[in-house]
Amino acid sequence: SRGHIAHADAITSNGAHGIASSEAVPKKKKVVLLGTGWAGMSFLKDLNNPSYEVEVVSPRNFFVFTPLLPSVTCGKVEARSIVEPIRNIIRKKNVDISFSEAECVKIDPQNKKIYCRATVNSKLKGEEEFAVDYDYLIIAVGAQVNTFNTPGVEQNCHFLKEVEDAQKIRKNVIESFEKASLPNLSDEERKKILHFVIVGGGPTGVEFAAELYDFVNEDVVKLYPKVREFVKITLLEATDHILNMFDKRITNFAEGKFGRDGIDVKLGSMVTKIDDNEISTKARGNGNTTNTPYGMVLWSTGIGPRPLIKEFMKQIGQGNRRALATDEWLRVEGFDTIYALGDCATINQRKVMEDISEIFKKADKDESGTLTVKEFQEIIDDICERYPQVELYLKSKQVRNIVDLLKEAKGDAAKESIELNIEEFKSALSQVDSQMKNLPATAQVANQQGAYLAKCFNRMEECEKNPEGPARFRGTGRHRFHPFRYRHLGQFAPLGGEQTAAQLPGDWVSIGHSSQWLWYSVYASKQVSWRTRALVVSDWVRRFIFGRDTSG
- 305 counts as binding Mg ion under rule CB under 5 A: no
Segment contacting Mg ion by CB under 5 A, of 58-66, 125-133, 188-196, 421-429: 58-66
Of 127, 113, 135, 119, residue with least CA distance to 54: 135
- 281 counts as binding ligand FAD under rule CB under 6 A: no
Segment contacting Mg ion by CB under 5 A, of 79-87, 133-141, 504-512, 533-541: 133-141
Residue 306's binding partner among Mg ion, ligand FAD, none (Cβ under 5 to 8 angstroms by kind) is: ligand FAD
Residue 161's binding partner among Mg ion, ligand FAD, none (Cβ under 5 to 8 angstroms by kind) is: ligand FAD
Of 236, 210, 238, 239, residue with least CA distance to 292: 236
- 40 counts as binding Mg ion under rule CB under 5 A: yes
Candidates 2, 27, 60, 93: give the one binding ligand FAD (CB under 6 A): 60
Q: Kindly identify the residues of this chain, within the stretch 324-383, that bind Mg ion according to CB under 5 A.
A: 345, 364, 366, 368
With CB atoms as reference, the residue minimizing the distance to ligand FAD is: 37
Distance of CA 138 to the CA centre of its chain: 16
Q: How many residues can be counted in the chain?
A: 552
Of 128, 135, 167, 169, residue with least CA distance to 52: 135
In the complex with ligand FAD, the residue whose CB is nearer, 95 or 169, is 169
In the complex with Mg ion, the residue whose CB is nearer, 366 or 423, is 366
- 37 counts as binding Mg ion under rule CB under 5 A: yes
Candidates 66, 150, 372, 435: give the one binding ligand FAD (CB under 6 A): 66
Q: Beta 264-267 vs 324-326: how paired, if at all?
A: unpaired
Candidates 31, 47, 69, 383: give the one binding ligand FAD (CB under 6 A): 69
**What is the total count of residues that contact ligand FAD (CB under 6 A)?**
33
Q: Would you list the DSSP string of 146-170?
A: --TT-TTHHHH-B--SSHHHHHHHH
- 431 counts as binding Mg ion under rule CB under 5 A: no
- 47 counts as binding Mg ion under rule CB under 5 A: no
φ, ψ for residue 64, nearest 5 deg:
-115, 130
Q: Kindly identify the residues of this chain, within the stretch 379-408, that bind Mg ion according to CB under 5 A.
A: none
Contact track, ligand FAD, 430-449, x by CB under 6 A: -----------xxxx-x---
What is the C-alpha R_g of the chain?
27
- 201 counts as binding ligand FAD under rule CB under 6 A: no
CA 398-400-406 angle, to 5 degrees, is: 100
Round to whole Å and give the CA distance between 402 and 416: 11
Q: Beta 96-108 vs 52-58: how paired, if at all?
A: parallel
Of 198, 213, 199, 201, residue with least CA distance to 255: 201
Candidates 28, 29, 30, 35: give the one binding Mg ion (CB under 5 A): 35
Of 328, 306, 279, 295, residue with least CA distance to 456: 328
**Quick one: which H or E segment has residue 392?**
helix 388-396
C-beta atoms surrounding 403 within 10 Å:
16
Round to whole Å and give the CA distance between 412 and 219: 67
- 454 counts as binding ligand FAD under rule CB under 6 A: no
Interface residue list for ligand FAD (CB under 6 A): 34-40, 57-60, 66-67, 69-70, 103-104, 140-142, 160-161, 204, 306, 308, 342-344, 441-444, 446
Interface residue list for Mg ion (CB under 5 A): 35, 37-40, 64, 66, 140, 345, 364, 366, 368
